Structure 1
Amino acid sequence: MWTDATNVLSQKDALRYAWGRRAEGSRTDPAAAAIVLRDPDGIYSGRNPRSPYYGQLGRNTPVRISHGGASVALVIPPDVQGRATTTDTAALDITGDIDVRADLTPSQWGGITELGAWEVMGKYGGISQVSWGLFVLDDGQVSLRWSADGIAVLSRSSTLPVPFAPGQRGAIRATLDVNNGAAGHTVVFYTSDTLSGTWTQLGDPVVTAGTTSIFNSTASLEVGDISALGFADISREIHAIEVRNGIAGSAVANPNFAAQASGTTSFADAAGRTWSLAGGVQITSRRTRAVLEASSWVPRWGASGVDVTTPVTAAGVLRRLGRGAKPLASALRRRLPTGDPIAYWPLEDGRDATQGASPIAGCPPLRVAGFSFGQDASCPGSAALPTVSAGATMQARVPSATTSSGWTISMVYQLDTAPAVVAAAGFLAFTATGTAAHGIVVGFTSPNVIVDFYDPLGNLLTSTSFSNAGLIGPDRWIRMDFTAEYIGPHTNFTAVFVATDGSQQALSTTALAGTPGIVEDVASVIGVGLSDMAIGHLTVFDTPAVSIWDGSESGYDSETAGARLVRLGDEEGVPVAVADSVGTDTAMGPQRPATLLDLVGACEAADGGILYEDRERAGLVYRTRSTLCNQTPRVTIPYAQLAPPLEPTDDDKLIRNDRTVSRDRGSSARAVLTTGALSTALPPDGVGVYDDSQTLTVHSDDQLPDIASWLLHLGTWDEARYPKVRIYLHKYPALIPAVCSLRPGDVIRITGLPDWLPPGPLDLMVEGAEEEWKTFEWTIDLSCSPAGMWSVGVLDDATLGRLDTDGSQLASGVTSTATSLSVTTTAGQIWTTDSADRPFDIRVGGEVMTVTNVVGASSPQTFTVTRSVNGIVKAHSSGASVALATPTILAL
């Protein structure tokens, strides 16, 4: 329950709040707020026993900052199962063609959610009461689901993802033609900017054989989270929806939440449906600006003792997460205990250890001899593990299991070469209480793996042999799972060997009469020929069905950056939302032990997106690199509405023209710009060498050249920076909804630039901001970087899909009004003369011209142009460079 402290804010002290990256940095800074509360009675002094909040105002008490002035909407916060609902009525009982539409602003369209989708709306009840529902999938596709009998669900999805950026408002639409006249049914999807906008078909129609129908259920129509389901609880604002009986038919439900008064809890729509709210949602114009944690509540007072205040220092969750300097344990050490083993010895102990400690309560240490701990750090999912010598031993009692239906004993190992012996060299031996086999020894010979089964007297019952091909080799880590499962009257003993890349290398099952019992101890002697074998993560489970590994033995190698962030957030109790356009985030390398912030920072660095703090909860949001490219500006601001100064910087602070990228424990790649204004050439031909290097946690060396080239592109983008854009929101309140919706990575456009600046429009990417609230003032300073560097090539696009010249210049000078240019190609192919490729824009001496015709089969060619497209009027000399105004840039 939140307590409103607005009325005790100090009027003479401004409320200050900063978020995102401050100055085109490589990482987001923790959000920070400075709040001063008037506190003459010491109410907000957390240690004052007279305060009604005594004992409640401590370190990291949540603080929420919200504001009014946004557009009214149905607001569904994150981690809330909420909805607007109207009860079933005859008008909603659509059984034939249907047309459903929604205008909404979700925090993410595509991305990563636990259940793969989130709900928009539906008449979608529980068992046997399913009619239809509209969803958005993790890949950004729109999905329409329906049932003909109330039970079996049919699902059709758009063939393309929606074209909206994370947090961008958009409208989606789905139509179902239950009988398309060709013995089938058809679903078509559309997008628009709003419900009243022009609908554009999204991908191809989805045509399926066989006619269909929609079940007439008694379920309510729900907008937002559907009560019978449990999909992802993402934050979203819903502005309006429409449900039409028939394609483009009459509206049977059309709540316009944007037309309601802020605070409305119930209303009737134009179609006669009465709507109510449930589950913690609101129809409101207020938006959460920040959810922070207060780290300090320290009262202050003047000399007279009258002017008593309590300044509150609050910060985003990154501050708290950054306080811990202890590295997280290895992927295996973190993962295996979650499977509830009855015994576990990681064997990640320090070099001077004399036994293997267990993190499992009640599990004794593993007594060892002949072990050299901390010697082999090559297992991707582990910290350094021990190597063993011939004759080494390990022994421990296994705590009693609660079941005797079966068990699993697992470990990882690495062995360079097989022992050159005829008799098996054992490496794992243990005993069980069952009647099928009492003692089991697993070992190697030169060609095979041997499993020996013994009775309680030590007599050999039987042996199983299979090839060890693929199970031995330098730097090849293998996981062995040995299971026993009672399939009465026999017990099946199964040995499975799995490489860290997930490929199964060997499988052998032996059936013996009797029960498996429980594993009672481990007592192994390492055989001759196994010297320097590395082993670790010896684990005993009291079940034969274990699927806990989940890639942890490889350190989750090849996991995407977004998936790793979500998993780490789940493991550490920190909500992480991933906004992704089409699942293009980078494949990561093994996760090594490191602090949480270093691990999430490694994901951000490898993929090149932006990790920032969630505005609505104490969590994180990751915006993948692909979502930053080719954005439509989120808000357009006339220069006249900016507060001074809008000052460019044009220095060498961010130039990097020689970049080397290395893979953690891998190879490297280098990209160098050798020609051009920001090249490594000495002045005046370039700027000289500005080099750097960085090591990234990526999956393979093959990724490095492209990453190095992309980073070189970013580091040699030749454009002035406008690091600060100041806006007086109190002076231009119409800007409040759009400006306050901005998140790191969004693009703004500034128009109407004065003559002393380069011609616009000026597109900038928002990195962060600093805000200040006073009684009648609200100022925001946006920290920005050039957005142009994120305009990347799009195949077959008339502007972004055009390759630039390798080198062209004017063959002769031209006046400021000439419309015919003679252009010489100095390198590469001449310019296209195909009329289908025109018009296109070129840039000559800073002036943008539109080319309407090109004549000539050889150089020089004659261009017919429209001059001064960007407002620049000037003459140009012979030899002036001619290039595309918007050349194709290959995305990473």
Structure 2
Amino acid sequence: MVALPPPDLFELYYDGAFHDRTVDVRASAGVTMSRGVSAEGTRAQPSAADMLLDNRHGDYSRRNPMSALWGKIGPNTPMRYSIDAGHPYLLLPGDTTSALTCPDAAALGVTDLDIRIELALDSYTNSQEVVSRGIGSQRSWTLLLGSGLQLSWYPDGTFASQKTAGIAVAVPAVPRQRIALRVVLDVNDGAGGHLVTYYWAPTIDATVWTPLGSATSGAGTTTLFDGTAGVHLGTNTGLVGNGLAGRVYAFQLWDGATSTRKVNLDFSTAEAGDTSFTAADGVVWTVASAATLSNRHIRMAGEIPAWPPQRDASGANRTVPVGPAGITRRLDAGNKPLESAYLRFIRAAGPIECWPLTDGAQTTSPASLVAGTPMPPLISFGSGPVKWAEGQIAGWVEPVALIPPSTDATMRGLIPASVPAASGWSVDLAISGLIDGSVDLQAVDRGAGTDADNRLGFTVDMDADGNQILVSVVAAGTTSSSSTLLTTLASPGIFDDLPHHVRLTVIPQPGLSNSAWTLYVDGVSRASGTYAVVADAPLSARLGWFQNAVTTNTPSVGFITAWTSAGPTAADMYEALLGFQGETAGDRYLRLCDEQGVPAALMGTAADTTPLGVQQREKFLDALASIARADGGYALEQRDDRALLYRPRTTLYNQPPAITLDFSSGVISEPFEPLDDEKLTENDVTVQREGGTFGRASRETIAEGPLSVEAIGRYDEAHTLSLADDSQTLQQAGWRMHVGTVDGLRYPQITIDLANPRVWPLIRSIYLADVGDKIRLTNLPDDDGPDDVDLIIRGYKETVTSKKWQITFTCTPGTPYDVLQLDAPAYGRLDTGGSQLASGISSSATSLSVTVTGAALWSTTAGDRPFDIVVGGERMTVTNLTGASSPQTFTVTRSVNGVVKSHLAAAPVKLAQALAIPL
């Protein structure tokens, strides 16, 4: 057995750094950690841990002034807990001398270059040298990372012969996320040129590599210099000033001309702390400078919310039980009223001043949104006050002020002084329902009001009766004043019951002795020009109105906002007012976190996530959960940092397994209790778009599958989701029905004893696996069926004590996430609409006559083979296929999965890997 407890590290953050406090962790009490979605849940819970700290020294008695940590720890003190386990990885500090190197060898010579590297970098945007071969007059190739990727190669070994091909496409990974990168140089593309292609994948052993950007073609064929230099992982050539910072888990060098792997570095033969080792392929690698081989893994980064002191009766045994938690525990505290996307956006963008006009019904003077503003709020003048909390700009925006009939009044408030505003400023108004009468928005600058320094009042008059907007300016001096009409915008399109945004921007231009102005309506510039006086920063804002005595059309007004020129664009403001409809799940997740001041990252790319509907008025974490619910992904905390992470549904598709567990080898522990039930079944699914229509999908007949309504009864589910368009509802319903009708055993929990010596070679894979990754079970008992089983990790619980070291993964079926991917041969084939044996076959027959009952025949193209089919639970590999009409003839290799049996006529014939069209 592996010695217990494993080497661990417990750190507390104080005095500006993390400090090792491992000696205080009571190993006998152990450490228990949980992460992700619980067995019965649908929403990720805050990461959590339990541990007992020895407090005989009194350091954790934070109320005791004599404590060594007095004033240094308290509620939500940051912590980290790590374990050293498994095969190591290369840890590079980011300097220009640290690297892992190997000497020259025959294996380094290739015709077509194919570099593959699996890493987790501190940054994927900093300029860094990733891996290279050669320096000086022995240069062969170099892979650089920065705003994109760049390959340099040197046909004659000198810098003067350098050729480069790069892509300005960001690597789709967040800081410290593990990803595999690949670059292929085809020195002769067969058309008189050469070609460089970049790819990425979740791991280096992936069967599907996704292109990064477009392939770069070059004129003329080229060559690779095969000199006497070895390979450097990390900085070597000095082409960029930054060294590689982060972790390298594997490196492979292939000869693309022959599809031969020449170098295979996976650290499986190394030990943590080694300065030199021989890889399994015989290549000797040596650590240089401050690079190290480490097997440390951060298992939790969180905060300790409380420090309850405990002691026994004698007082000699003093302890503090602590329950570290992820940051979502803190982010979910309190009961702050929900805010609209528009209000959140304004608040986060930092205006000079904003009066939302969302005050309560008894308001006499509306409040400012800008905390600490030493100016009075808006003051009303005129024939009648507005009706507070009765106006509605849009259903997803807070109630605002309603302008009643028979009123002619103004509201005015002072705008705080702002130095940046002297170079440019804007004033905004949100409005709806202005059909009769008029509303005007005015901003007055800080001019002295003298003849030499006029005070300027820029006014936007929204005249519904005239179906026009008039922009004018009044210049007031000591002895005289003047009024200038700057523009009249006819038919502006705002006089209806829809939400609208109006902005006036003024940019002083001292060098031209004038001020440029622009009128924006619903995010679009509708008029612009100049005024022959240089404006100052804004002093005040005024909202005025005139409503007819007899009218049923009462406008709603809100969010009078002043910005510097660095504020959000008018287009962004209008998009926010509309609740960011059409925004992708990834973009919304990052935006909300940014508005909240919470560091966050996105796996994959935002463009591949679901377009969402109007952002509703929800608490922060509820809004993140709405995103994950619509997209089908996971809203999580980062495991190694106090930050958030979103993993979209698309990152679950066609993954290679992060962990492969061979049941027959004894690496899976008790309890091992697969379930053969219908608990996750949804065979009749309705999806309603928030504020829109619905779509429904169902499997009704036995011919559609064993979990159809006819086969097991109706399991109907309804989901209401934030979607951008009504057309998405049917797609969403179909996908959820697909996920809910996968026929197979469920493995809700998989337990692994990490102290089991047979598990030791797998520990690095186990520790790198996280929520959303795939586990593959192989060589299962006959009762479980003959085939491998794929599972998606939803969460896990890990326990580390002096007697036990165990992890239990909470899982859901992974098969639904095998989807059609046309650029990947392994995932590029769909099943027919139906096929069956035309006649029965014996247990050894290798020729099948197959009748196609669907609309499409099986492909007879040689390049589409081989592929596997399943007949009566037996897996067969199709090596040849003929026939231009049904029935077609299959030549097969039998019993691929160990099942040996005969089959009757009409037995269904299906693809072994049933793929779905992805959402």
Is the Cα contact below 8 Å between 2:204 and 2:250 reproduced in 1? Answer: no
Pick from 11, 17, 40 the counterpart of residue 33 of structure 2: 17
Provide the C-alpha distance between the structure 1 equivalents of 2:419 and 2:831, rounded to a whole number of angstroms. Answer: 71
Distance 1:866 1:273, change over 3 A: closer
Partner of 2:289: 276
Deviates more, 1:723-732 or 1:792-801: 792-801
Partner of 1:695: 720
Provide the C-alpha distance between the structure 2 equivalents of 1:837 and 1:205, rounded to a whole number of angstroms. Answer: 25
Deviates more, 1:161-170 or 1:401-410: 161-170
Segments of 5+ residues of structure 2 without an aligned counterpart are: 1-16, 104-110, 133-139, 223-231, 448-452
Provide the C-alpha distance between the structure 2 equivalents of 1:770 and 1:804, rounded to a whole number of angstroms. Answer: 38
Partner of 2:696: 670
State yes or no: 1:290 paired with 2:308.
Answer: no
Once the two structures are TM-superposed, the CA of residue 744 in structure 1 deviates from its matched residue by 0.8
State yes or no: 1:104 paired with 2:115.
Answer: no
Is the Cα contact below 8 Å between 2:847 and 2:890 reproduced in 1? Answer: yes
Deviates more, 1:687-696 or 1:674-683: 674-683
Read off the aligned partner of 1:10 and give its amino acid letter. Answer: R
Alignment of 1:642-681 (within 5 A): 642-676=668-702
Segments of 5+ residues of structure 1 without an aligned counterpart are: 92-96, 124-130, 213-220
Provide the C-alpha distance between the structure 2 equivalents of 1:320 and 1:441, rounded to a whole number of angstroms. Answer: 45
Partner of 2:106: none
Pick from 483, 489, 513 the counterpart of residue 466 of structure 1: 489
Q: Give a deviation string over 1:850-886, Cα, whole Å, max 9, x none.
A: 3345555555555443332222223333443332222
Q: Give a deviation string over 1:458-497, Cα, whole Å, max 9, x none.
A: 6533452122343444324223224252345543352322
Q: Give a deviation string over 1:760-805, Cα, whole Å, max 9, x none.
A: 2222222221222222532111212211111001226555333323
Provide the C-alpha distance between the structure 1 equivalents of 2:912 and 2:47, rounded to a whole number of angstroms. Answer: 38
State yes or no: 1:393 paired with 2:410.
Answer: yes
Once the two structures are TM-superposed, the CA of residue 181 in structure 1 deviates from its matched residue by 14
Read off the aligned partner of 1:374 and give its amino acid letter. Answer: A
Partner of 2:377: 365
Paired residue secondary structure (2:289)? strand
Distance 1:428 1:592, change over 3 A: same
Paired residue secondary structure (2:651)? helix
Provide the C-alpha distance between the structure 2 equivalents of 1:86 and 1:578, rounded to a whole number of angstroms. Answer: 29
Read off the aligned partner of 2:298 and give its amino acid letter. Answer: T
Provide the C-alpha distance between the structure 1 equivalents of 2:112 and 2:862, rounded to a whole number of angstroms. Answer: 44
Partner of 2:3: none
Partner of 2:425: 408
Partner of 1:874: 901
Partner of 1:743: 770
Paired residue secondary structure (1:59)? coil
Paired residue secondary structure (1:605)? helix
Is the Cα contact below 8 Å between 2:684 and 2:698 reproduced in 1? Answer: yes
Deviates more, 1:189-198 or 1:732-741: 189-198
Partner of 1:75: 91
Partner of 1:840: 867
Partner of 1:538: 560
Distance 1:54 1:745, change over 3 A: same
Deviates more, 1:576-585 or 1:730-739: 576-585
State yes or no: 1:888 paired with 2:912.
Answer: no
Once the two structures are TM-superposed, the CA of residue 107 in structure 1 deviates from its matched residue by 7.0
Partner of 2:5: none
Provide the C-alpha distance between the structure 1 equivalents of 2:236 and 2:872, rounded to a whole number of angstroms. Answer: 55
Partner of 2:632: 608
Once the two structures are TM-superposed, the CA of residue 742 in structure 1 deviates from its matched residue by 0.8
Q: Give a deviation string over 1:551-577, Cα, whole Å, max 9, x none.
A: 433433333222222233333333212
Provide the C-alpha distance between the structure 1 equivalents of 2:113 and 2:679, rounded to a whole number of angstroms. Answer: 54
Read off the aligned partner of 2:904 and give its amino acid letter. Answer: S
Partner of 2:819: 792
State yes or no: 1:428 paired with 2:441.
Answer: yes
Alignment of 1:486-565 (within 5 A): 486-488=509-511, 490-499=513-522, 502=523, 504=524, 506-509=526-529, 511-528=530-547, 531-541=553-563, 547=569, 550=572, 551-565=575-589
Deviates more, 1:798-807 or 1:754-763: 798-807
Provide the C-alpha distance between the structure 1 equivalents of 2:503 and 2:743, rounded to a whole number of angstroms. Answer: 55
Distance 1:566 1:430, change over 3 A: closer
Is the Cα contact below 8 Å between 1:98 and 1:176 reproduced in 2? Answer: yes
Distance 1:703 1:546, change over 3 A: closer
Provide the C-alpha distance between the structure 2 equivalents of 1:191 and 1:440, rounded to a whole number of angstroms. Answer: 54
Once the two structures are TM-superposed, the CA of residue 161 in structure 1 deviates from its matched residue by 7.7
Read off the aligned partner of 1:865 and give its amino acid letter. Answer: V
Q: Give a deviation string over 1:146-197, Cα, whole Å, max 9, x none.
A: 99999xx9872299989999955646347699x9999999755578999999
Paired residue secondary structure (2:497)? coil
Read off the aligned partner of 1:611 and give its amino acid letter. Answer: A
Partner of 2:474: 454
State yes or no: 1:768 paired with 2:778.
Answer: no
Paired residue secondary structure (1:711)? helix
TM-score under structure 2 length normalisation: 0.78
Is the Cα contact below 8 Å between 2:517 and 2:531 reproduced in 1? Answer: no
Deviates more, 1:23-32 or 1:518-527: 518-527
Q: Across the two proteins, how many residue pairs are aligned to each other?
A: 842
Read off the aligned partner of 1:606 and give its amino acid letter. Answer: A
Partner of 1:704: 729
Once the two structures are TM-superposed, the CA of residue 224 in structure 1 deviates from its matched residue by 8.1
State yes or no: 1:438 paired with 2:450.
Answer: no
Partner of 1:56: 72
Distance 1:565 1:408, change over 3 A: same
Is the Cα contact below 8 Å between 2:708 and 2:741 reproduced in 1? Answer: no
Deviates more, 1:517-526 or 1:314-323: 517-526
Paired residue secondary structure (1:626)? helix
Read off the aligned partner of 1:614 and give its amino acid letter. Answer: Q
Is the Cα contact below 8 Å between 1:344 and 1:363 reproduced in 2? Answer: no
Q: CA RMSD in A?
A: 5.0
Read off the aligned partner of 1:540 and give its amino acid letter. Answer: A
Once the two structures are TM-superposed, the CA of residue 506 in structure 1 deviates from its matched residue by 0.9
Partner of 2:752: 727
Pick from 49, 54, 60 the counterpart of residue 33 of structure 1: 49
Once the two structures are TM-superposed, the CA of residue 818 in structure 1 deviates from its matched residue by 3.6
Read off the aligned partner of 2:415 and give its amino acid letter. Answer: V
Once the two structures are TM-superposed, the CA of residue 357 in structure 1 deviates from its matched residue by 1.0
Distance 1:596 1:720, change over 3 A: same
Is the Cα contact below 8 Å between 1:349 and 1:374 reproduced in 2? Answer: yes
Is the Cα contact below 8 Å between 1:116 and 1:232 reproduced in 2? Answer: no
Paired residue secondary structure (2:51)? strand
State yes or no: 1:333 paired with 2:363.
Answer: no
Is the Cα contact below 8 Å between 2:774 and 2:791 reproduced in 1? Answer: yes
Provide the C-alpha distance between the structure 1 equivalents of 2:489 and 2:198, rounded to a whole number of angstroms. Answer: 55
Provide the C-alpha distance between the structure 1 equivalents of 2:611 and 2:209, rounded to a whole number of angstroms. Answer: 33
Once the two structures are TM-superposed, the CA of residue 743 in structure 1 deviates from its matched residue by 0.7
Provide the C-alpha distance between the structure 1 equivalents of 2:241 and 2:466, rounded to a whole number of angstroms. Answer: 54
Paired residue secondary structure (1:356)? coil
Partner of 1:218: none
Q: Give a deviation string over 1:23-43, Cα, whole Å, max 9, x none.
A: 263221222222123444444
Paired residue secondary structure (1:669)? strand
Paired residue secondary structure (1:706)? helix
Q: Give a deviation string over 1:234-274, Cα, whole Å, max 9, x none.
A: 964466699x9xxx9xx9xx99999886457999x999999
Deviates more, 1:519-528 or 1:737-746: 519-528
Q: Give a deviation string over 1:578-629, Cα, whole Å, max 9, x none.
A: 1106841122333333211112112211221122221111112221211111
Pick from 466, 475, 485 the counterpart of residue 498 of structure 2: 475
Is the Cα contact below 8 Å between 2:468 and 2:488 reproduced in 1? Answer: yes
Identity, % of aligned pairs? 32
Provide the C-alpha distance between the structure 2 equivalents of 1:643 and 1:516, rounded to a whole number of angstroms. Answer: 76
Is the Cα contact below 8 Å between 1:265 and 1:283 reproduced in 2? Answer: yes
Once the two structures are TM-superposed, the CA of residue 758 in structure 1 deviates from its matched residue by 0.7
Is the Cα contact below 8 Å between 2:96 and 2:242 reproduced in 1? Answer: no
Distance 1:438 1:201, change over 3 A: closer
Read off the aligned partner of 1:75 and give its amino acid letter. Answer: L
